[in-house]
Amino acid sequence: MKKIGLFIKRDEKAINKANELEKWLTSKGFFVLKKENIYPTNNPFDNQKIPIAPPDLFCVFVLGGDGTFLSAARWIGEQDIPVLGIKFGDVGFLAETIEEDLFTCAEKIINNEFSIEPRTRLFIRLIRNEQEIASQTALNDIVINKGALARLAHIETYINDSYLTTYRSDGLIIATPTGSTAYSLAAGGPIVYPSLPSIILTPICPFTLTNRPLIIPDNVKIKIKITEQSTDIVLTCDGQIGYEIGSYDTILVTKGKRPVKMITMSEHHYFDVLKTKLRWSGGRI
């Protein structure tokens, strides 16, 4: 018996629709595993111990917004489990379909009428006093930023151990192409097509105006150090996990070993989704 996972936003509408989908899938002979969205605790090290999805899942349906999808990607971990996003939130760049088309898409999926689009992840290691104290993956981005009352962050940045620059800014976003339409875009970063092998560096409100967003190959190693001048600095991964960091820490970022396998339908095109989400009319003003 094939198993399908339902990863659900803690929202009455999404939960009710998940119950409908569970009954429908069960009637088709599938075993259904339901999982509510994982909310991070205040202790980031607790979040590294969250159980991952069973390895024998045929696929996972995510009923929620982009935040729920990012949590589902953490739940799946490094496993090759395809995942489909169904929009039940305010933001839906990661959603392949909407609630109204859910059962039409589900019918195609159980009949294997779908494609897989691999999405690059970042792999992040936090080194403190020459010891690795934490590691995480991120589908969208990692963000290094200062607290509300802190002075500018001084972020030393190296590419393949070659010094690039020290960003004097409110922070720095390191994003995947998938994450290029998230926080990086709001901070003035470029939109990058999801399959391009690249990583985006976007400074947040840089003091030096010539520090512009930078697109680099995804086969590099990025090393980040925080200078002693900086205080009250936080590292977050996909907005889900946060670590307080300081001058005693080194952050290493590389391309993740395994991508997220996103389910796509042939009739849906990235540029159509992009135009819809960004409300590009294409007409004259």
Closest listed residue to residue 70, CA positions, set 184, 200, 238: 238
**CA torsion, points 177, 178, 183, 184, in degrees to nearest 10?**
10
Residue 39 has pLDDT above 80, yes or no: no
What the block records as the tokens of 26 is: 């069960």
pLDDT of residue 112: 92
Please count the residues of the chain: 285
Backbone angles phi and psi of 145, in degrees to 5: -145, 165
Q: What are 285's two structure tokens?
A: 């003003």
Q: What is the CA radius of gyration of the chain?
A: 20
Q: In what helix (H) or strand (E) does residue 102 lie, and over which residues does it extend?
A: helix 102-110
**pLDDT at 84 (0 to 100):** 95
As a whole number, the mean pLDDT across the chain is 90
Digit-coded pLDDT (tens) for 140-191: 999 999 877 778 889 999 999 999 999 999 999 999 999 999 999 999 999 9
Predicted confidence at residue 50, as pLDDT, reads 66
Candidate list 66, 141, 238, 249, residue with the active-site label: 66
Q: Which residue has the tokens 């995804």?
A: 218
The Cα–Cα gap between 99 and 164 comes to 45
Q: What is the pLDDT of residues 210-220, one digit of tens each?
A: 899 999 999 99
List, for residues 122-132, the tens digit of each pLDDT value.
Answer: 999 999 988 99
268: confidence class by pLDDT, cuts 50, 70, 90:
low
- 238 given a catalytic annotation: no
Pair of tokens at residue 228:
């002693």
List, for residues 57-72, the tens digit of each pLDDT value.
999 999 999 999 999 9
Please give the average per-residue pLDDT across 234-251, as a whole number: 92
